Structure 1
Amino acid sequence: MTAPRPSSLAVAATAHEHAWRTESMHLTSEGRVRYVRCTGCAARRIDLDAPVTAPPTPLTRTLG
């Protein structure tokens, strides 16, 4: 199986520092799950805010 080729959007998404904005969130047993989108390029990511005072941990890689 061959790896998919990155799209031009994926390459463009890595060309700047993302400004993540929370679109929605909900609580789970692991902490708060936040669905975020970059205001500059519309890339999306899912973050987990652990119940302790730790910084958010990305659950997925940046898409788009």
Structure 2
Amino acid sequence: MTGSPATRTPPAAAAVHEHGWLVESAHRTSEGIVQYVRCADCGVRRVDVAAVPAVVPGAVSRELG
């Protein structure tokens, strides 16, 4: 992998399975609730944001791993 942690491309193996996301931490912002999540299986991470708590969060970053 090359680049800074924020721009690294995930390994090809990370895209082989459906990720099971675990919330590592979360906080409220002006954009909604930001969640830092990690795949329980492969450890890849991403950042999600939910504009309204009742809405399923959507990824706002690429998967990092």
- TM-score when scaled to structure 2? 0.78
Q: Which residue of 1 aligns with 2:30?
A: 29
Larger C-alpha radius of gyration, 1 or 2? 1
Post-superposition offset of 1:52: 6.2
Match of 2:63 in 1: 62
Quote the Cα distance in structure 2 between the aligned partners of 1:24 and 1:54: 18
Query: What percentage of aligned pairs have identical amino acids?
Result: 46
Displaced runs of 4 or more, over 6 A: none
Q: CA RMSD in A?
A: 2.0
CA contact (8 A) 2:33 2:53 kept: no
* Residue in structure 2 matched with residue 18 of structure 1 by the alignment: 19
**Which structure is higher in RCO with an 8 Å CA cutoff and minimum separation 6?**
2
CA offset at residue 53 of structure 1?
Answer: 3.7
Once the two structures are TM-superposed, the CA of residue 56 in structure 1 deviates from its matched residue by 1.1
Per-residue deviation, residues 2-49 of structure 1 (Å, max 9, x unmatched): xx6x87x61110010000000000000110000000000000000001
Cα distance in 2 between the residues matched to 1:17 and 1:46 = 17
How many positions carry a matched residue from both structures? 59
Q: Say whether the 8 Å CA contact 2:49–2:59 is kept in structure 1.
A: yes
TM-score, length-scaled by structure 1 = 0.80
Unaligned residue ranges in structure 1 (runs of 5+): none
